[in-house]
Amino acid sequence: MKNNNKQKKQITIENLGTEIGGMKDLIRFLKANIILLIAIILSCFLIYANLINGKFLNLDDISGIVNDPNIGNISAAIKSMEGYNLYKVVIFKIFGLNPTAYHVAAIIMHCINSILVFLLMYVLFGRKVSLIATALFITHPVNTEAVGWISGYPYLIRGIFIFGTLLFYAIYKKSKNKYCLLYSSLIFLVGMLFFRSSGWLFVTPVILILLDQFVLEEKITWKNIKMYVPYAIISLIFAAILIPGFFKQRVQELQTLYYVKEETSTPLINRIPYTIYMEYKLLAFPMELSIYHEGKVLGNVEYAFMVIITIAIISLTIYLWKKDRVVAGLMMIIIFSILPSFSPIIIAWTAAERYLYIASAFYSAMVGILILKAEDKYKTKNLSIIFTIVLLTFFSIRTVIRNNDLKNSKNLWFATRKTAPYSYRVYNNLGDVYAEEKNYELALENFKRSVALKPDYADAVHNIGYIYSQIGNIEKAKKYLAQATDMNPRLYQSSFKLGEIYYFEENYDKATEYFQKCLDADPTNQLCQTYLNKILNK
């Protein structure tokens, strides 16, 4: 009798999709499948092993971590109530400015997300789909930007909160355990409280509703609205507090740092086909991976093809609404997971691989469902295994190659120059690499190429002036640095360098003028203040 009871209580991977009724069942499931979880963790580390000794990139890593004046200030990080700041500072406090530590932390977060994806897909679709989806998610090349780029950590952290929120909601729907609805709401609340910047967590309720209505329900069920109330209240409160300031700050940031002009930008109606096409292209055929998707002028034929593909995707989603609600729902979740890219006011890039981190999990689940349906329909034994192995082989090879691109700045910009040869930012960043190597001739060549592609790009103009100052051509240095300050008064580096040049020429009036401009743009700049104090003493 005791043995029978023990047998009834034992939870196996075959029946646990419907038996996870709460936290205790979930813990029991994890214990029962510890070998599988270890395999997931080892797979994550194996696929990103060649990136562990990678360097900081001159793509936000240097400015956002290495040169961050508050990188060692844990008190300031806590006071900011922003978890991203605390993440950077804690790693720095323990390991110092060690890029390997940040890479390992990113891989660990990818492990956590992979386990959450496995659990979520298991609860939703069962054993086979969850295994295929998790394997594809771990290895998908589109995720290299979020995992491999040190500054991509916010996308990994947000993934933990989004997948956690969805997991406990799915368990609640399967078990009717209201504590799981509470856990789901609390995870979302904690995410919004401490990882609120950039606004990407606002996509969570949208994904949750689509998941509920198309995957968990057999038809549109209006009575479920009451279950969305906690997420709606949290979203509305934070939207009222954060969105006005965030929109203003983000628009200003894009204009001053990335020179995105709203008045000359592509209208939303024209951006939508490009964004949807690029999303599905990167998920389905992740060959041309690039940190920048810009610079290329689309011809009428190419753009028309994007429009046709977009219409086909939308039409197929509508057709499957009744034929196969689950696949239709997953297709919609993939699109709506990058909702900020569809904002009428530009607050995000129209295409970026790191944006697809969440979408890749649902795309992987959709692939798993489709190949299992094909196997069942055509009675082809082991079709799903063969197809998955082929896909995993391709994904793994592409990911390992892409990891090598992200190991250091030079590799990254050489690779990006191939995929985005008309991106002005590529040449500016490559010029920075050559300047770091003191190869000033090639640095100038790349900075000038950047300006040729975008004449109003003040950063590259500043860099030309800076290189001229390094090689002793002071008159040209002053010309380009002054031009940069006129183009972008917020570029305090140009004002500071000009002030320094005039200071050593003993032209203190001009030096004071530019040091004051530097302080206007960067009031906390101690070097500017020190020079001004020296001038006052003189």
Alpha-helical (H) ranges within 149-202 are 153-175, 178-194
Least confident of 3-12, 91-100, 202-211, 509-518: 3-12
Cα–Cα distances in Å, from 239 out to 163, 231, 501?
A: 21, 12, 47
More confident residue, 257 or 107: 107
Could you count the other beta carbons within 10 Å of the beta carbon of residue 412? 26
Query: At a CB cut-off of 8 Å and minimum separation 6, what does 364 contact?
Result: 117, 132, 133, 134, 135, 136, 137, 140
Mean pLDDT of 29-35: 93
Q: Output Rg (C-alpha) for the chain, integer angstroms.
A: 26
Give the number of C-alpha atoms closer than 13 A to the C-alpha of residue 158, restricted to the C-beta side: 25
DSSP assignment of 403-440: HHHTSSHHHHHHHHHHH-TT-HHHHHHHHHHHHHTT-H
Question: Which amino acid type is present at position 145?
Answer: E
**Per-residue pLDDT tens over the stretch 489-522:** 888 999 999 999 999 999 999 999 999 999 998 8
Q: What share of the chain in percent tops pLDDT 70?
A: 91
Full-model pTM: 0.90
Domain coordinates in residue numbering, the chain: 2-56+97-409, 410-537
Nearest to 327 by CA among 394, 379, 374, 392: 374
More confident residue, 341 or 15: 341
Say if residues 77 and 86 touch (Cβ distance below 8 Å).
Answer: yes
**Per-residue pLDDT tens over the stretch 200-241:** 899 999 999 999 999 999 899 999 999 999 999 999 988 887
User: Between the CA atoms of 331, 350, 394 and 136, what dihedral angle is there, to the nearest 10 degrees?
Assistant: -40
Q: Compute the distance between CA of residue 499 and CA of residue 494 in angstroms, rounded to an integer.
A: 9
Tokens read off for 142: 């589109």
Tokens 């709401």 sit on residue: 185
Mean pLDDT of the chain: 89
In eight-state DSSP terms, residue 219 is: S
What is the CATH superfamily name and number for domain 410-537?
Tetratricopeptide repeat domain (1.25.40.10)
Output b/e per residue, 201-219; b: 16+ Cβ within 10 A: bbbbbbbbbbbbbbbbeee
